[in-house]
């Protein structure tokens, strides 16, 4: 659900991204941030989901999670002359 929300905003504002970031707060309020940069610019929601799950896996065997956030960065506007494959759907 978090990835879908981020993806909707990306598509609304027509941005590509390269970095997926998660923020995790544990039950004792310790907070961690993890990020991963993918090789190519993309708008693919599956990249957000897969990368966020990969980053989150580090915390699944620890204490209970209190908060999880997902975001993207290293944004670049989509070239209006270049159409995306999703534009044809």
Residue 24: what pLDDT? 93
Q: Look over the chain and give the mean of its residue pLDDT values, rounded to a whole number.
A: 87
Every domain of the chain and the residues it spans? 2-88
Contact 52, 69 (CB under 8 A): no
Are 19 and 35 in contact by the 8 Å Cβ rule? The answer is yes
Q: Report the topology of domain 2-88.
A: Dna Ligase; domain 1 (3.30.1490)
Place of tokens 């993309």: 42
DSSP string covering 18-76, please?
EEEEEEEEETT--EEEEEEEEEEEE--HHHHHHHHHHHHGGGTTSSPEEEEEEEEES-E
* pLDDT tens-digit series, residues 26-80: 988 999 999 999 999 998 999 999 999 999 998 888 778 899 999 999 988 887 6
């Amino acid at each position: 659900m978090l990835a879908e929300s981020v993806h909707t905003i990306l598509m609304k504002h027509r941005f590509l991204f390269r970095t997926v970031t998660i923020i995790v707060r544990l039950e004792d309020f310790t907070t961690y941030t993890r990020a991963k940069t993918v090789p190519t610019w993309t708008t693919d929601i599956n990249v957000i989901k897969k990368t966020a799950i990969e980053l989150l896996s580090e915390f699944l065997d620890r204490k209970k999670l209190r908060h999880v956030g997902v975001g993207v960065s290293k944004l670049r506007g989509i070239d209006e002359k270049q159409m995306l494959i999703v534009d044809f759907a």
